[in-house]
Structure 1
């Protein structure tokens, strides 16, 4: 299963290679839904060349079919119905295909698993290996691209040399052709000469003309061959240019855009744009040189027409090179700095667009103006399908026009929108349960570029990442959920703005971890235990085995549309509340490892039971968004603290205030962990203000446990409690609860505790020999009943 999770993260060519492993012989859906089962089977133990192993292969086939059928039967609901039919079909298909040749099934699956492992390993070495390995991989890829540029440069130089030879040959041909015309003119003028002289001159001129015409005929054939050869060389060069451009625009630039999108979720900064621009500039140079050569070829052909297919060939070359230039210009008009993806009306925002060919095509000689408009998802679809020729707007953006500027020092051509503001928005009719924070828009940037003095004019457009428009800060949480889901699970080349409705839980974990790390500004993200806790909360499960969740999927509705059981908030709202609390107030403590956080009440009690009195831990509240509580043996859980509380007094100071707290779980002295964050106390001189007033200090106080505990009771009368405790006191005075050494007998003490629990109608969280209970029994044994403060 772990391999399949990694295989799904492959990108570019590696992803295409992985997808090509599957087909009718073994559907990719079978690999997906039986991922863990497939990876756990002993495929490698089967010897493919040994016919005696066929029985073992047959068992594996039968087990595979049975597992598919079992998986199909587990599906339920509307969505599950179609999947049930599909999985059942695959089970029958595999059975009929491999029943007579089960070894071929084993061969197929072994090939798939080994190929996946190789692709994942190569991707790991390229992206998540050591820094040196990563740099080596990048350098290798850059070296390949630069090597291809060198080949293109040499090919372009070669066609330039051949073009010059052709031009020189054609110029000499024209000279000889003019010479032939001169000879013909001379022959025509001989009629005025005497016959004897005319015959002698005519013989000489005819001989000369025959020689010249024979040379012209041979040379015309040679020129035509030169032209055809040059056209073939240009076709080859254009093929190399197209291949290099596809590599840069459809892979490197797309990967950069994907990194930019993930950066919206907290991924690594996209970077690398200057390298991309250098490649695009080289492409622009080479494409333009080849276009100029083709244009010169056309001029030579027009200057000296010769029979043959040259006009058609050159027309095709000219059309191809124009398409390549168009693709380069339109694809390199990109958004360098995206507008905010959660966009609030009446709020200033910024964006930057950039043309990656820089000044190479002299676009800046006629500075283009860029216009920004906001369009809906449906309008974006129509634009990409070319169903809409004009840009309809779904709102009004102020300061939405900007002129592109060329910066000589950096070679960049860009437009900086610094003071845009969305004045109003026009929403479309929403579908079903969709809320305004699920509706996606995009900012469309468009312009018109003139190349080569208006010889070529390109209308360019580019769409921003999806934005969610809000009108109030209270909508920010849900809007962020829409953006996070889209950024994490959008696929390249999608129809705007389609995302899967369900994703595998490990995929969502990766997105949540990325977001959490980014907000904490550290490498300490979510541990496997943290993710198990989140899975338990998301799926209302009690399993603590991470493997149990690897095949589970989470829908958008479960993520941020349906409330958690027994709560009035969704899974994302709870998680985002934790992130906001940590980011604003508790980031240093998380990075110090002082906050366990993702622990439920029962887990916290289990962890603290075996620890000394005064041991405490910090856990996130289950019942309140953005709350954190202190759990310790005396009180178990304080009322959760929120952002509002920490704006009054910090967590470290609150922990310092509570003398009951001694050790941070498992055994770290609290001052060792939190002392560096304590607020220094004010001395008398500092506390006394200039006007004579003394400045008070805020300090957190928790009532004594026993008073706190009994003041919560509303079901018993004070007299009943008094009499019950006096009875317990009498038992102690009669030493009925003491063992031979004069200490409390544990079993009898537990009986008394249960008796008190019954009277109080709530459990006295134990063990009995805890600090609290021991204080109670000591007080009773000393007959210091007055210490219970009967006057509450």
Structure 2
């Protein structure tokens, strides 16, 4: 309800915009009397493009109708009688309107609430700026104010030319009447020959005097009309110049910035929307352009109706061509992709996209809904399309369900086509260049349509290209394909030739892209620190410098990023980084957000940090040698040399390990780990993530327990009468040379391991049963034999 209270305090143009949100599709009275209920509902949780959400939307509709009916019943007394009838009527009206399409109600209310929030926020920004002693408003508010002022100037200019055009029309109509009067006088003079001479002379003198007066007036008025026409033509030229300037500001700056934000959103950047604001501006432009075009057409008609000597015909022809160019640029530029297809596109996999015509509602395009077609094209085909070298859309593959009719949503005023079930059946690849792999080849989805406006007066063929997509056929290619997409999204320049990106970028530019990606995947404001970025620079450049300034002016190439393997490794810089991101995203996100994982620390740094701390202090760092691995490093005494302290590193865990037992539980199992670096008791950090103890026996069976054990740091427990304690073993390795070595796992030669050494669990066998099978072996004996 707080939002509605603020919305009611809007003034001027903002108030008019807020009131315009309501109508028969959703009465403003419903918003007023159900304000608290409406703002408490989770409208944003409903996915409008998902038909399966219709049940949720139907429930919201039924609840809305029910709330309205309750509110109506509460109205009493003489004053409440009419309101009771009105609210009851609205309940029935909403039920009948949206019962068959409840998702449209959700779309309508979401649009209203988001628009109100925007208007209130803009008004708040302006008030704050005005109340700060005349300080400059932020750049966003300044731009919006500039655009709104220009629209007001255009509105007044268009109104002026409309008034002048009406004056011209009235003057011309009177001129034609006088011209007809002159013709009538001439006809009368011609008929005087049949009259007697005396009478003829008298009448002729009178008529000739009258004719002279009329002709003199016509001569003067013709010059005046010509001047009116020229003046009006000059005013239209000025208005068209203002329209061009405003359109350039909106399309070449605001819309391009929106597209850039959309592209960066592919790397995890914030995409704050703003499309509804852009649509409102584009619709105002369309309205003003169309009004001026109609005025110019009326001028042409007046000129044809009464031809006068002068350059008007050429001037009007030029104005007509200019205004047509302006509206063509507006329509073709506002055919945009609202929801991009996935940029890593797997064949035989369903995907979705949404295209939108920002001026469709204003130009009544929906009266004859156009059909949109989607095809996938190569980089070369995209270049040819943008250069107008290709008149027809060649395809580099086959997309199923690639035709869709644009739908008009009256509640939001949007005209869009929702492709919900597209699938790329096949792809035709081009010849690769040099060392380029299939995951570096870029395609794009082309959306095209054709429609007419003004009663087929103007016909538009519109096209728009998606962001570059990389086509894969197997999930193993996803990692490298994502690298291509990230590089393109981060470093593409506006107006580029498809899909050229620099081969080298400054290291701080890549840091910004990696930080954006990392924070997005973690859903956290805690991104990569300066120390983290130095660690990554050391890895990317094979450097030992700890000074961030040493890397500020260094450049990193695409080959260093994801084509050449890191020294001594069989993976690239990106593959290592992406492995870290995947591990964190799937299993360790809360620990990163808690600050429990340092992560970006090498083995030598970990040793230096830990040796200055008490025994039992540990930290978590990412493995240098394994993709998507994390290890525990801790400081402890050397069991074989009393008094000597060593830093030990546990064999790295991967996502497979954490799918069996969580990090917190593993740390809980290891009693020799006492303090998380620098000095936090481990239970203080991890206890809230420990798995509760197993429940008691069910149906006479006791569940086995998986337990993390490092034999070198385990004090044997006496065996209970019922048998030995069961555990899984993972062995530490000291970070300095140590004569003793321990087996990582006992050898397993039976069929429970697949050819790749992974557990071969069928669908009906859970992890606990699998471990139970393992525990029936004499594992302790095997460990003893290995250690000996």
Query: TM-score over 0.5 for the alignment?
Result: yes
Structure 1 position 177, deviation (Å): 0.2
What residue is the counterpart of 1:498 in the other structure? Answer: 500
Pick from 665, 678, 703: which aligns with 2:677?
665
Cα offsets for 1:57-113 (capped at 9, x unmatched): 999999999999999999999999999999999999999999999999999999999
Tell me, yes or no, if the aligned pair for 2:708 and 2:730 is still in contact at 8 Å: no
Matches of 1:349 and 1:464, distance apart in 2? 13
Which blocks of at least 5 consecutive residues in structure 2 are unaligned?
635-644, 714-727
Q: Distance in 1 between matches of 2:533 and 2:650?
A: 24
Alpha-carbon shift at residue 454 of structure 1 (Å): 0.7
Aligned equivalents of 2:412, 2:90: Cα separation in 1: 57
Deviations 1:287-317 (A, max 9, x none): 0000000000000000000000000000000
When residues 380 and 199 of structure 1 are mapped into structure 2, their CA distance, relative to the original with a 3 A threshold, is: same
* Residue 704 (structure 1) shift: 1.6
Alignment of 1:104 onto 2:104: yes
CA contact 1:396–1:424 (8 Å) conserved in 2: yes
| 1:737 aligned counterpart, secondary structure | coil
Deviation at 1:143, TM superposition (A): 1.2
Kept in 2, the 8 Å contact 1:728–1:752? The answer is no
CA contact (8 A) 1:73 1:84 kept: yes
Q: What is the alpha-carbon distance in structure 2 between the residues aligned to residue 673 and residue 13 of structure 1? A: 53
Q: Secondary structure at the match of 1:733?
A: coil
Instruction: Return the offset for 1:453.
Output: 1.1
- CA separation of 1:65 and 1:281: change in aligned 2, threshold 3 A: closer
- SS of the aligned residue for 1:498 comes to coil
Q: Provide the secondary structure at the position in 1 that maps to 2:393.
A: coil
Per-residue CA deviations over 1:669-699 (Å, capped at 9, x if unaligned) read 00000000000112xxxx4454321111111
C-alpha change, 1:359 and 1:533, in structure 2 (3 Å) is same
1:417-466 CA distance string (max 9 Å, x none) = 00000000000000000000000000000000210111100000000000
- What is aligned with 1:774? none
SS at match of 2:651: coil
Contact 1:737 1:748 in 2 (8 A): no
Per-residue CA deviation, residues 307-364 of structure 1 (Å, 9 max, x unaligned), is: 0000000000000000000000000000000000000000000000001113111111
Alpha-carbon distance, 1:5 to partner: 44
Change (3 A) 1:559 1:283: same
Change (3 A) 1:553 1:757: farther
- Aligned-CA RMSD value: 24.1
Q: Give the superposition deviation at 1:717.
A: 25
Which of 687, 696, 704 is the equivalent residue of 1:688? Answer: 696
C-alpha contact 1:657 1:701 (8 A) present in aligned 2: yes
Q: Which blocks of at least 5 consecutive residues in structure 1 are unaligned? A: 706-715, 765-788
CA distance in structure 1 between the aligned counterparts of 2:473 and 2:24, rounded to whole angstroms: 50
1:492-513 deviation per Cα after TM superposition (whole angstroms, max 9, x unaligned): 0000000000000000000000
Alignment correspondent of 1:192 = 194
Paired residues of 2:611 and 2:647 also in contact (CA < 8 A): no
Residue 137 (structure 1) shift: 3.2
1:544 and 2:546 aligned = yes
Q: Alpha carbons of 1:65 and 1:477: their partners in 2 closer, same or farther (altered >3 Å)?
A: farther
Quick one: structure 1 residues 175 and 750, their matched pair in 2 at CA, closer, same or farther if it must change by over 3 Å? closer
Q: Give the structure 1 partner of residue 709 of structure 2.
A: 701
SS at match of 2:362: coil
User: After alignment, is 429-438 or 96-105 more displaced?
Assistant: 96-105
How far 1:138 sits from its partner (Å)? 2.0
CA offsets 1:116-151 (integer angstroms, 9 cap, x no match): 999999999999999999984322221110110000
Could you tell me whether the CA contact under 8 Å between 2:607 and 2:647 is conserved in 1?
Answer: no
Number of aligned positions between the proteins:
754
Deviation at 1:270, TM superposition (A): 3.8
1:604-642 Cα shifts (integer Å, max 9, x gaps): 000001100000000000000000000016651100000
Distance 1:56 1:160, change over 3 A: closer
Q: Classify the secondary structure of the residue corresponding to 1:728.
A: coil
Q: Answer yes or no: is the 8 Å Cα contact 1:333–1:355 preserved in 2.
A: yes
Contact 1:33 1:551 in 2 (8 A): no
Residue 200 of structure 1: CA displacement? Answer: 0.6
Q: Does the CA-based 8 Å contact 2:704-2:768 persist in structure 1?
A: no
Q: Secondary structure at the match of 2:738?
A: helix
Conservation of the 8 A alpha-carbon contact between 2:621 and 2:631 = yes
Q: Is the 8 A contact 2:610 2:647 kept in 1?
A: no
Could you say if the C-alpha distance between residues 728 and 398 of structure 1 is closer, same or farther in structure 2, counting changes exceeding 3 Å?
A: closer
CA contact (8 A) 1:277 1:358 kept: no
Q: What is the alpha-carbon distance in structure 1 between the residues aligned to residue 345 and residue 762 of structure 2?
A: 65
Q: 1:724 aligns with which of 731, 737, 742?
A: 737
1:406 paired residue among 405, 408, 431: 408
Between 1:65-74 and 1:433-442, the stretch displaced more is 65-74
Moved more, 131-140 or 252-261: 131-140
Distance 1:345 1:124, change over 3 A: farther
Assess, with a 3 A threshold, how the Cα gap between structure 1 residues 612 and 758 changes in structure 2: closer, same or farther: farther
Aligned residue for 1:757, secondary structure, equals helix
Question: CA 1:146–1:694 in structure 2 vs 1: closer, same or farther (change >3 Å)?
Answer: same
Partner SS, residue 177 of structure 1: helix
Change (3 A) 1:36 1:574: farther
Aligned partners of 1:363, 1:94: CA distance in 2, in Å? 26
Higher mean Cα deviation, 74-83 or 149-158? 74-83
- Conserved in 2, the CA contact under 8 Å of 1:737 and 1:749? no
Question: Secondary structure at the residue paired with 1:732?
Answer: coil
Q: Does the aligned pair in 2 maintain the 1:12–1:251 contact within 8 Å?
A: no
Query: Matches of 2:388 and 2:236 in 1, distance apart?
Result: 32
Structure with the largest fraction of helix: 1
Please tell me whether Structure 1 or Structure 2 has the larger radius of gyration of its CA atoms.
Answer: 1
Greater mean deviation of Cα atoms: 447-456 or 687-696? 687-696
- Classify the secondary structure of the residue corresponding to 1:634: strand
Are the equivalent residues in 2 in contact too, given 1:614–1:634 (CA < 8 A)?
no
- Counterpart-to-counterpart distance in 1, 2:737 and 2:280: 86
Q: Give the secondary-structure state (helix, strand or coil) at the position aligned to 2:756.
A: coil
Any conservation in 2 of the 1:478–1:560 contact (CA below 8 Å)? yes
Deviations 1:200-232 (A, max 9, x none): 111100000000000000000000000000000
Q: CA deviation at 1:700?
A: 0.5
| Separation of aligned partners in 2, 1:381 and 1:374 | 13
How far the C-alpha of 1:10 sits from its partner, in A, is 34
Shift of the 628–70 alpha-carbon distance from structure 1 to 2, 3 Å rule, reads: farther
Tell me, yes or no, if the aligned pair for 1:346 and 1:421 is still in contact at 8 Å: yes
Provide the TM-score with structure 2 as the length reference. Answer: 0.73
Distance 2:622 2:504 in 1: 27
For the 8 Å contact 2:49–2:418, the answer to whether it is kept is no
Per-residue Cα deviation, 1:30-53 (whole angstroms, up to 9, x for no partner): 999999999999999999999999
Q: Which moved more, 1:169-178 or 1:357-366?
A: 357-366
Separation in 1, partners of 2:97, 2:251: 41
TM-aligned CA distance change 1:658 to 1:29, over 3 Å: farther
Question: How far off is 1:13 after superposition?
Answer: 28
State the alpha-carbon separation in 2 of the partners of residues 424 and 104 from structure 1.
35
Task: State whether residues 708 and 729 of structure 2, in contact with CA within 8 Å, keep that contact through their aligned partners in structure 1.
Answer: no
Contact 2:730 2:745 in 1 (8 A): no
